[in-house]
Chains A and B, each alone.
Chain A
Amino acid sequence: NAGVTQTPKFRVLKTGQSMTLLCAQDMNHEYMYWYRQDPGMGLRLIHYSVGEGTTAKGEVPDGYNVSRLKKQNFLLGLESAAPSQTSVYFCASRNGGGTEAFFGQGTRLTVV
């Protein structure tokens, strides 16, 4: 089973460039999440979605946009990358109720 797949795994951007991170899950989960992980700050929620066509802001949404056009995909966009967005990005998904969350392998993004 593929589970949660993130694309790409690594990326280097120049300040001001844009990019989109793709998260795909094959478990038919309703909920999907984007987190960023930084040393000393743990995992922080950027945006999340409770179903196809819905999105909501998390703890640190500024500088990011998301879309959930298809149930299995959750896209995270950076319109104008900044060095402060250098981080490891994780996507997660889960079903409704008290179910466990599953995470992807992460995308390591460096903005220079």
Chain B
Amino acid sequence: KQEVTQIPAALSVPEGENLVLNCSFTDSAIYNLQWFRQDPGKGLTSLLLIQSSQREQTSGRLNASLDKSSGRSTLYIAASQPGDSATYLCAVRPETSGSRLTFGEGTQLTVNP
């Protein structure tokens, strides 16, 4: 059974700092990996989608990498801002079942002004 772990569970940084969020998964047979952002009391907003054949994806100040063989992904946030404060979730879609996403429990990020 696929398990997804996100470390750390919570992170507090001063504004302007570059930071890395980690996601690991136990079964490397994945179709793709998706990073989401969730604001308190809100739904999930898709940030980046990495296919299993890709090594990284970039969107603005965000860069996500994927090392499928070692079961790891990182989300790099450059020059963090208070508006980046949210919970960040990663989710993997396995090759076998093809449909469902398995989620980590998320990293709660606070960027202090």
In the complex, B28 has a CB within 8 A of chain A: no
Main SS at interface, chain B: strand
In the complex, A104 has a CB within 8 A of chain B: yes
| CB under 8 Å from chain B, chain A span 14-58 | 31, 33, 35, 40-43, 45, 48, 50, 56, 58
In the complex, A112 has a CB within 8 A of chain B: no
Q: Chain A contacts of B42 at CB under 8 A? A: 105-106
A101 engages B101 (CB within 8 Å): yes
Q: Chain A contacts of B34 at CB under 8 A? A: 100-101
Cα distance A92–B103 when bound, in Å?
Answer: 13
Q: Chain A contacts of B93 at CB under 8 A? A: 98
Cα distance A40–B103 when bound, in Å?
Answer: 12
A90 engages B44 (CB within 8 Å): yes
| CB under 8 Å from chain A, chain B span 92-108 | 93, 99-101, 103-106
B27 to chain A, nearest CB (A): 15
Q: Chain B contacts of A50 at CB under 8 A? A: 99
B49 engages A100 (CB within 8 Å): yes
Q: Chain B contacts of A31 at CB under 8 A? A: 99
B49 to chain A, nearest CB (A): 4
In the complex, B32 has a CB within 8 A of chain A: yes
In the complex, B46 has a CB within 8 A of chain A: yes
In the complex, B76 has a CB within 8 A of chain A: no
In the complex, A103 has a CB within 8 A of chain B: yes
Instruction: Kindly list the 10 A-B residue pairs having the minimum CB-CB distance in the complex, ordered from nearest.
Output: A103-B44, A105-B43, A43-B103, A100-B49, A42-B105, A103-B43, A42-B103, A98-B51, A98-B32, A100-B46
Q: Give the B-binding residues of A (Cβ under 8 A).
A: 31, 33, 35, 40-43, 45, 48, 50, 56, 58-59, 90, 92, 98-106, 108
Known contacts A104-B43, A108-B41; 20 additional CB pairs below 8 A are: A31-B99, A33-B101, A42-B89, A42-B103, A42-B106, A43-B91, A43-B103, A48-B100, A50-B99, A56-B99, A90-B43, A99-B49, A100-B46, A101-B46, A102-B46, A103-B36, A103-B44, A105-B42, A106-B41, A106-B43
